[in-house]
Structure formats: structure tokens, C-alpha cells
Amino acid sequence: MKQLGFYIDSSKCTGCKTCQLACKDYRDLDVKRSYRRIYEYTGGGFVQDGDTWIQNDVFAYYLSIACNHCTHPACVQACPSGAMHKRDDNGLVLVDEDICIGCQHCANACPYGAPQFDKTRGIMTKCDGCIQRLSEGKQPMCVESCPLRALEFGDMSELREKYGLTADVAPLPPSSQTLPNIVIKLNKNSKPTGDTTGFLVNPKEV
């Protein structure tokens, strides 16, 4: 079975949010909804040493996360209507907008904040891997927009062969929970999943 997914290069990502905005523009999303979100994880501080303040393990890095089209999608498991479903042919996890009852239980279950509730239409929406563009032989909008070339999209077996298996890094959940289809190239500052030395700098932006 084919499984599509993302490669996310956190060592290159500068947190510029071009991908997020390109997606918002292309998918015509309101202010509240973002199919792709950039999480800035920061920690450390300064300590006083005599008269000077010195840096004490100050770190910051960015993770650009959309939907990971998980192999064990918590959203699909929770959904009562079957609107949230995983496609057999390409492994994408999609919302059937004609079936969704807008109960938002998928959003309760997803540990990546991917489902984005559309208040005006009363239904759930989220990243669909730009399935329309894929059918036209194009890459997803977010991937094409990145000025740092920090995102890739494609067959997971190929991406994993090229870039390895890493899908665990703070502040993401343990990848064993949903088996996300992402490969992350870690930033040199990266902290492991479960790390509590940092915090999310931009909670209002995600």
C-alpha cells in the first residue's frame, strides 16, 4: 500500500511561516484555521555570573506541522460518522465534508492539532495533502512555497530511505501513539519528546 507523507527539515526551517500562509491563501482559510502550523519551541535562559549575564543553554527551533496522515490515526478512531477516513490507495487521511456532523471529537483525539473546525459551515476541515494538486501532477502548495526548501512530500518509503525514520522530537507526542507519516531532520538544538525544559512561544499562532 502506498503511503504519502511529509519530510520536515527542522534544521533549515526559520519559522518564516510562508508555508502556513501559502496554504491559507490557497485553501482560502479564515484567520482561525490553519492546515499547517509552525510551532516554535524555546527554552533556556540567562544566569548571572558576577557582573555579567551569560547564556545558559538558550535554544529555539521550529516545526512545521500539518496533518501527518497517520498509520494509526486517532482522529479516524474517534469519528462517529466515518467522515474522517483513511484512503486505501495513498494513505491520506481525509474528511468527507458531506458526512461530517461537526462533533469535533476527532480534534479531541488528534495529538498534532491537525483538525481545524470550520465554524461557519459547522464541519471539520484539515490538510488533505493537496490531493487536488496531486491529481494534476503538482506538489502541495506548502511544499512549493517554502523559500528554504525545508518541506518535501511524497511516498513515505522513499522519504524514509532518503532521510531516515525520525518522527520524535519535543513538543510532538510519542510517535508510537499514531504512527505519523513524517520524517523530521532534527535541528541541532532539538530536545527529545517529553522534554519539559522549553515552552511554546507562539500559542496564539497555532
Taking the C-alpha atoms of residue 156 and residue 143, their distance in angstroms, rounded to an integer, is: 15
Query: Which range binds other proteins by CB under 8 A, 19-27, 87-95, 139-147, 173-181?
Result: 173-181
Q: How far is the CB of 188 from ligand SF4 (least distance, A)?
A: 25
Q: How far is the CB of 124 from ligand SF4 (least distance, A)?
A: 4
Q: In sequence order, what DSSP letters do the residues of 57-100 get, joined into one string?
A: EEEEEEEEE-----SS-HHHHH-SSS-EEE-TTT--EEE-TTT-
Does residue 179 interact with other proteins by CB under 8 A? no
Does residue 104 interact with ligand SF4 by CB under 6 A? yes
Taking the C-alpha atoms of residue 189 and residue 170, their distance in angstroms, rounded to an integer, is: 11
Nearest to 205 by CA among 53, 95, 41, 73: 41
The SS3 call for residue 193 is coil
Residue 105 or 191 having the CB closest to ligand SF4: 105
Of positions 3, 20, 178, 190, contacts other proteins by CB under 8 A: 178
| Number of residues lying near other proteins (CB under 8 A) | 54
Taking the C-alpha atoms of residue 33 and residue 104, their distance in angstroms, rounded to an integer, is: 14
**What is the residue whose three cell numbers read 481525509?**
94
Does residue 57 interact with other proteins by CB under 8 A? no
Query: Which range binds ligand SF4 by CB under 6 A, 46-54, 111-119, 161-169, 188-196?
Result: 111-119
Does residue 191 interact with other proteins by CB under 8 A? yes
Taking the C-alpha atoms of residue 131 and residue 202, their distance in angstroms, rounded to an integer, is: 29
> Which chain residues interact with ligand SF4 by CB under 6 A?
23, 26-27, 35-36, 66-70, 73-75, 78-81, 83-84, 93, 95, 100-106, 110, 112, 114-115, 124, 126-130, 140-142, 178, 180
